[in-house]
C-alpha cells in the first residue's frame, strides 16, 4: 500500500467517525430539546434541531472535544415561534436555553 492510499484510507475513516459522532450528538441534542419542551409545557416545532456552530473546545478535564450548538424552535400557544438552543461538549449537554417564551411575557400552557 502506497503512502497516498494509506492517507486516503485514514481520511475516509476519520470522515466516517466524524459523521457517526455527529449523528449521535444530534440525537442527544434532539432528546434534550424534546425533554426541555415537555418540562416547560411547550411544543417543539418541526421535531428537529439544526447545527449552528461546530468548533474545538476543552472540557473540564482539559481534553479537547467538539463543541456543537444546535438551534430549534418551539411554541407556547401554536401561534408563536421562539428559538431555543442546546450546547453539547462531546456528547454531553452543557447548556440548554428555552426561556425566550418567559422573557416575552407569554404564559405557559
Assign 107 a pLDDT band (cuts: 50, 70, 90). low
Please write the tens of the pLDDT for every residue from 71-102: 999 998 888 899 999 999 988 999 999 877 66
Question: Does the structure show a pLDDT above 60 at 41?
Answer: yes
What average pLDDT does the chain have?
Answer: 89
- Residue 105, pLDDT above cutoff 80: no
Cβ burial 12-29 (10 Å sphere, 16+ → b, else e): eeeeeeeeeeeeebbebb
Distance CA 29, CA 49 (A): 7
Q: How does pLDDT run across 50-77, given as a tens digit for each residue? A: 999 999 999 888 999 999 999 999 998 8
**Please, which residues have CB within 8 angstroms of residue 28's CB and are 6 or more apart in sequence?**
88, 91, 93
Sheet with strand 82-89: strands edge to edge: 43-58, 64-75, 82-89, 92-97
Cell, residue 27: 440525537
Amino acid at each position: 500500500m502506497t503512502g497516498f492510499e494509506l492517507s486516503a484510507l485514514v481520511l475516509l475513516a476519520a470522515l466516517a467517525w466524524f459523521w457517526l459522532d455527529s449523528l449521535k450528538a444530534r440525537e442527544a441534542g434532539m432528546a434534550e430539546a424534546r425533554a426541555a419542551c415537555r418540562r416547560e409545557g411547550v411544543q417543539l416545532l418541526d421535531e428537529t434541531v439544526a447545527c449552528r456552530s461546530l468548533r474545538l473546545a476543552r472540557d473540564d478535564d482539559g481534553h479537547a472535544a467538539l463543541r456543537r450548538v444546535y438551534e430549534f424552535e418551539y411554541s407556547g400557544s401554536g401561534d408563536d415561534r421562539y428559538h431555543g438552543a442546546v450546547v453539547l461538549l462531546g456528547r454531553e449537554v452543557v447548556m440548554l436555553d428555552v426561556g425566550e417564551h418567559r422573557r416575552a411575557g407569554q404564559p405557559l400552557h
